[in-house]
Amino acid sequence: MLKKGRYLLSTLDAFPLLKDPRGNPLPEIALAGRSNVGKSSLINHLLSQQGLAKTSSTPGKTQLLNFYSIGDEWILVDLPGYGFAKAPPSAVAAWSKAIDTYLNTSTSLKLVLLLTDSRREITEEELSLIEWARHRKIPLCVIVTKMDKLKKAERDVKVEQVKQITQAEVLGFSVKEPFPRVLLTKRIEQIL
């Protein structure tokens, strides 16, 4: 079972390096994905803490990198959603740069969870993040969100299709169902 999460801070440039009492850096797991894909909802459902991460039906809610400490054992990093057209280009450029800087400088990043909406196709942007993780040898798991929006028969087809395209590990997810949460918890516990 995952421990209780605590919001730490939001930033675009001053990334914290958090350590355990022995001075070892805490492992970090980052959530990446388009705006509105369900990142904040996943955090709340995964930790069973409604309201920990702010959710919204308006895309672009998360405009900073949000850091959460999970039981003071590991850090969850909620990256700002990309692909949000309504924000001014200067703001979009600032988030993209912040995501790049974080991904390329963090020395404690142990897993990237790349969220993709079950009703959308995989984009070039997503493929390039997968390529980057492969190159850096950082484990990456594609999480197909909002699976409840698909008919039962479509679900396996979608997951297979995403596996084919990304050649990555793929898990389906929905905040409306208990089982995907159990699987994702197990996956996270493997790296801790």
Number of chain positions touching ligand GTP (CB under 6 A): 23
Residue from 61, 120, 155, 158 touching ligand GTP (CB under 6 A): that is 61
Residue from 176, 179, 182, 191 touching ligand GTP (CB under 6 A): that is 176
Assess 41 for contact with ligand GTP (CB under 6 A): yes
C-alpha separations of 142 from 95, 112, 167 in Å: 21, 8, 10
Do residues 29 and 188 lie in contact, with contact meaning Cβ atoms separated by under 8 Å? yes
Q: Which is nearer to ligand GTP, 16 or 59 (CB)?
A: 59
* Binding span for ligand GTP by CB under 6 A among 30-38, 68-76, 93-101, 157-165: 30-38
Task: Tokens 């970090």: give the residue.
Answer: 28
* CA 35 to the chain's CA centroid: 11
Contact letters for Mg ion, residues 52-91 (x by CB under 5 A):
---------xx-----------------------------
Assess 36 for contact with ligand GTP (CB under 6 A): yes
Assess 181 for contact with ligand GTP (CB under 6 A): no
Q: Which is nearer to ligand GTP, 57 or 105 (CB)?
A: 57
Distance between CA atoms of 6 and 145, rounded to whole angstroms? 23
Residue 78's beta-bridge partner residues?
31, 66
Interior/surface letters 8-42, b for 16+ CB within 10 angstroms, e for the rest: eeeebeebeebeeeeeeebbbbbbbbbbbbbbbbb
Distance between CA atoms of 116 and 99, rounded to whole angstroms? 17
Residue 172, CA atoms < 13 Å, CB-side half-sphere: 20
Do residues 2 and 46 lie in contact, with contact meaning Cβ atoms separated by under 8 Å? yes
Assess 40 for contact with ligand GTP (CB under 6 A): yes
Q: Which is nearer to ligand GTP, 28 or 78 (CB)?
A: 78
Assess 72 for contact with ligand GTP (CB under 6 A): no
Residues that bind ligand GTP (CB under 6 A): 33, 35-41, 55-57, 59-62, 81, 145-146, 148-149, 174-176
Residues that bind Mg ion (CB under 5 A): 39-40, 61-62
